[in-house]
Structure 1
Amino acid sequence: LFLDSQGLLDSSLMASGTASRSEDEESLAGQKRASSQALGTIPKRRSSSRFIKRKKFDDELVESSLAKSSTRVKGAGSVESGRCSGSEPSSSEKKKVSKAPSTPVPPSPAPTPGLTKRVKKSKQPLQVTKDLGRWKPADDLLLINAVLQTNDLTSVHLGVKFSCRFTLREVQERWYALLYDPVISKLACQAMRQLHPEAIAAIQSKALFSKAEEQLLSKVGSTSQPTLETFQDLLHRHPDAFYLARTAKALQAHWQLMKQYYLLEDQTVQPLPKGDQVLNFSDAEDLIDDSKLNSLLPFHFTSELTVADRRQKREIRQLEQELHKWQVLVDSITGMSSPDFDNQTLAVLRGRMVRYLMRSREITLGRATKDNQIDVDLSLEGPAWKISRKQGVIKLKNNGDFFIANEGRRPIYIDGRPVLCGSKWRLSNNSVVEIASLRFVFLINQDLIALIRAEAAKITPQ
């Protein structure tokens, strides 16, 4: 009996547990259904009951936060009632809310316009400040003070020194923007309010003088010796005419400047002398004595001159020593060219700009550098950066035949036939030699070569 009663008790507890669990599941399902109906955009999705969750990307986090804000706005009654009842949403519910906006279903039309408007408003000031990067708050304050003083943008452009160089058109556009563009004027005013008081005082001290101020200063006589008390008294007698940041010292400095340029009332500009009395530049140069100038030169300048003179003499001496090494003469070809051959020229390599005379039995071709001196510098003919420093060698054999050997990396073309590195080819009269797009005609002095062949034939039988 005891076992039977215990079994009945266990079965009744299990039944009550399952009933309570089914009631909780029904209540949760009803809350989910109500929230989904309130949102209207979140479809029913299958979710896994696994505890492992994948990480959210930045865009999903933003969308999930927007979805949560939209649930607060639209489904406030059902969601808030569920939260106030003390039942927190399960992990599956959180997963549904976070993943729901990533579906391709379009969002509700209500929050979208407000969102786009907020984004546009936040981006607009950033674009404006990016476009107005050259104009600083100090420049704006200088511009405003100068225009209020002179009422002339041309005078402002000529007389005010801004932080960077602005053209007259840029000054005009900036002034009109400060007047008529509400966004730019608002940003400029906010930036000017943030300036330090000392910076504002320094900017105000640089304000241009108006015509009324200069007229009052011009009344002070040029022959008198005004002191700071004189200009301080002038400030007290005309407080409305002078700018608020003017000081007696600033007035004295400007008065001295006006006196220097003959702008005071009791001053008259002296006319220039006419006739032979005017001293021009050439006459003044003739009056200079060079011997006196040389005696007044500083020591370091004379030492530099002596060093430069010594260096030039050394270069001239080196060129004179290399004269005997030059076996090839280079002449520029003009319309009336000199004859190609003489008694000492064996052959000629004629190009479009220059010609190279071969006066020894062996010459080297290539590109001359500071460390590498060769007989035929092809860079005189044209662009030779693709030519090796020692491109080839032309030799004259004892039998009177000319051969060219390629010692560079690029091939040499003889009458269109390539001669590769390490190979050689026989040159005949009027052969076309092409080296890195530079073309030459090889001309042989037939009379001199005939004499060489005759001498070689006489020596061979012996």
Structure 2
Amino acid sequence: MDKDPQGLLDSSLMASGTASRSEDEESLAGQKRSSSQALGTIPKRRSSSRFIKRKKFDDELVESSLAKSSTRAKGATGVEPGRCSGSEPSSSEKKKVSKALSTPVPPSPAPAPGLTKRMKKSKQPLQVTKDLGRWKPADDLLLINAVLQTNDLTSVHLGVKFSCRFTLREIQERWYALLYDPVISKLACQAMRQLHPEAIAAIQSKALFSKAEEQLLSKVGSASQPSLETFQDLLHRHPDAFYLSRTAKALQSHWQLMKQYYLLEDQTVQPLPKGDQVLNFSDAEDLIDDSKLKDMRDEVLEHELTVADRRQKREIRQLEQELHKWQVLVDSITGMSSPDFDNQTLAVLRGRMVRYLMRSREITLGRATKDNQIDVDLSLEGPAWKISRKQGVIKLKNNGDFFIANEGRRPIYIDGRPVLCGSKWRLSNNSVVEIASLRFVFLINQDLITLIRAEAAKITPQ
């Protein structure tokens, strides 16, 4: 097995490349003759006789060397062999050739020199650049390694993961182009030579396993527990059979995969039963008795589910009836909270975590339990196990003043002053209300309170 895929590819492609280069040189010489015929009728233009050489790329250097050897071998074009090696004729020689060709032959409808140059440049590289953009150098190296390992393009299509999702036809066309197209093969080889050694090592580690490699691995028994030393010894005993980048770890993982799919020599797969004994899914469904699949009715469970459903519907109906009685709206406080007041909010009891919107003239404060429902549940703000179930009441008088009455066992502190059980205190705007280490700020909607006071003043004289 050849261990250098790039060298194999280069040697297989250079023979076909030389013949194609010589044919291209002959076609280019014919085009130069036609352009010189066309120049015979054009008025003479002043130009320099010096030939300014430009730098040549690597592929052009190879082409020019091939052209030199081919023209020297032929040497019968009416011009001296030294002139055919790439040097341009002088201006006087150009005039002689143009006069000799223009007198007996009428000017042919040849394209202008600018068009011929464009045609020369855009003759072939379009397909090459398009093809090279689709196929990366890493893909070409993967393809070459995989074909050398398996000799089967279908296996390469199924087993190799390229950078793009290529079809089987595209892989076949690319492989034939690498073999028989000199331009594509040459550019691909140059691109593969420029790959980093680490990238080449990573690509070689992904090479498919050949049949000879899998045959050697299948001889390792499935009942044994082979270690890395076992596969390392296998590599030393068969260096020619295994690929150059194989490691003991890679052989062990592939052996485990073969063992999983019963591909080892000492493994056998039980054959499927033949004849009428084969049972498919439709036959199995026919054998199932539908009456046995039905569960027996549990009357106790059905009664419990009915009672629970009736209870939930009753709670939903009760909540719907109490929607219009809700007096306080609890809202969580975030960094971008909405304005505290709207047209229906009389005041706000604002805490650190939540805020309570007062939308009626009287609300109750305390700790909500299952049996005791209140308007303001202080347990939403923090630990409220020291707070009474009904701690206090906040009322709005007709004159627009707010008062808080303490009905719990613990005192309520208003701006640092204690309000004992059974007492009440007037609340002003920005008053600090502290109940069992929970602090709130009482904010009053001044615009709405002003309207309430104005309406109360109109009603009072009547």
Is the CA contact 1:38–1:75 (under 8 Å) kept in the aligned structure 2? no
1:235 to 1:30, Cα distance in 2 relative to 1, 3 A: closer
Deviation at 1:265, TM superposition (A): 0.7
- In the alignment, the residues of structure 1 paired with residue 67 and residue 240 of structure 2 have an alpha-carbon distance, to the nearest angstrom, of 63
Is the CA contact 1:68–1:97 (under 8 Å) kept in the aligned structure 2? no
Output one character per residue of 1:97-149: Cα deviation in whole Å (capped at 9) or x when no partner.
99999999999999976994586246632441124422111111111000000
- In the alignment, the residues of structure 2 paired with residue 69 and residue 187 of structure 1 have an alpha-carbon distance, to the nearest angstrom, of 22
Q: Residue 377 of structure 1 corresponds to which residue in structure 2?
A: 377
Output one character per residue of 1:34-86: Cα deviation in whole Å (capped at 9) or x when no partner.
99999999979999999999999999999999999999999999999999999
- In the alignment, the residues of structure 1 paired with residue 161 and residue 253 of structure 2 have an alpha-carbon distance, to the nearest angstrom, of 18
Point out the more displaced range, 443-452 or 125-134.
443-452
Confirm whether residue 92 of structure 1 aligns to residue 89 of structure 2: no
Is the CA contact 2:75–2:81 (under 8 Å) kept in the aligned structure 1? no
SS across alignment from 2:403: strand
Output one character per residue of 1:188-221: Cα deviation in whole Å (capped at 9) or x when no partner.
1111112222111111111100000000000111
Output one character per residue of 1:264-308: Cα deviation in whole Å (capped at 9) or x when no partner.
111111234689998876899999999999999999999999999
- In the alignment, the residues of structure 2 paired with residue 257 and residue 87 of structure 1 have an alpha-carbon distance, to the nearest angstrom, of 64
Is the CA contact 1:409–1:421 (under 8 Å) kept in the aligned structure 2? yes
Q: Residue 34 of structure 2 corresponds to which residue in structure 1?
A: 34
Q: Residue 201 of structure 1 corresponds to which residue in structure 2?
A: 201
Q: How many residues align?
A: 459
- In the alignment, the residues of structure 1 paired with residue 352 and residue 35 of structure 2 have an alpha-carbon distance, to the nearest angstrom, of 91
Q: Residue 242 of structure 1 corresponds to which residue in structure 2?
A: 242
Is the CA contact 1:60–1:102 (under 8 Å) kept in the aligned structure 2? no
SS across alignment from 2:79: helix
1:264 to 1:397, Cα distance in 2 relative to 1, 3 A: same
Point out the more displaced range, 414-423 or 192-201.
414-423
1:112 to 1:450, Cα distance in 2 relative to 1, 3 A: closer
Is the CA contact 2:368–2:377 (under 8 Å) kept in the aligned structure 1? yes
- In the alignment, the residues of structure 2 paired with residue 254 and residue 92 of structure 1 have an alpha-carbon distance, to the nearest angstrom, of 74
Deviation at 1:235, TM superposition (A): 0.5
Deviation at 1:244, TM superposition (A): 0.5
Point out the more displaced range, 325-334 or 224-233.
325-334
- In the alignment, the residues of structure 1 paired with residue 337 and residue 186 of structure 2 have an alpha-carbon distance, to the nearest angstrom, of 78
Point out the more displaced range, 349-358 or 121-130.
349-358
Instruction: Give me the CA root mean square deviation.
Output: 24.2
Deviation at 1:152, TM superposition (A): 0.7
1:196 to 1:323, Cα distance in 2 relative to 1, 3 A: same
Q: How is 1:302-451 mapped onto 2 (pairs within 5 angstroms)?
A: none
SS across alignment from 2:369: coil
Is the CA contact 2:13–2:182 (under 8 Å) kept in the aligned structure 1? no
Is the CA contact 1:150–1:211 (under 8 Å) kept in the aligned structure 2? yes
1:429 to 1:144, Cα distance in 2 relative to 1, 3 A: same
- In the alignment, the residues of structure 1 paired with residue 147 and residue 5 of structure 2 have an alpha-carbon distance, to the nearest angstrom, of 105
1:216 to 1:406, Cα distance in 2 relative to 1, 3 A: same
- In the alignment, the residues of structure 2 paired with residue 291 and residue 310 of structure 1 have an alpha-carbon distance, to the nearest angstrom, of 32
- In the alignment, the residues of structure 2 paired with residue 99 and residue 80 of structure 1 have an alpha-carbon distance, to the nearest angstrom, of 19
Is the CA contact 1:330–1:355 (under 8 Å) kept in the aligned structure 2? yes
Is the CA contact 2:12–2:179 (under 8 Å) kept in the aligned structure 1? no
- In the alignment, the residues of structure 1 paired with residue 24 and residue 203 of structure 2 have an alpha-carbon distance, to the nearest angstrom, of 75
Is the CA contact 2:37–2:102 (under 8 Å) kept in the aligned structure 1? no
Is the CA contact 1:45–1:96 (under 8 Å) kept in the aligned structure 2? no
1:329 to 1:50, Cα distance in 2 relative to 1, 3 A: same
Deviation at 1:153, TM superposition (A): 0.8
Is the CA contact 1:39–1:74 (under 8 Å) kept in the aligned structure 2? no
Point out the more displaced range, 123-132 or 67-76.
67-76
1:230 to 1:454, Cα distance in 2 relative to 1, 3 A: closer
Q: Which runs of 5+ in 1 are unaligned?
A: none
Point out the more displaced range, 230-239 or 275-284.
275-284
Point out the more displaced range, 165-174 or 292-301.
292-301
Is the CA contact 2:14–2:182 (under 8 Å) kept in the aligned structure 1? no
Aligned-pair identity in percent equals: 95
SS across alignment from 2:122: helix
Point out the more displaced range, 268-277 or 402-411.
402-411
Point out the more displaced range, 64-73 or 15-24.
15-24
Point out the more displaced range, 268-277 or 319-328.
319-328
- In the alignment, the residues of structure 2 paired with residue 19 and residue 162 of structure 1 have an alpha-carbon distance, to the nearest angstrom, of 33
Point out the more displaced range, 328-337 or 426-435.
426-435
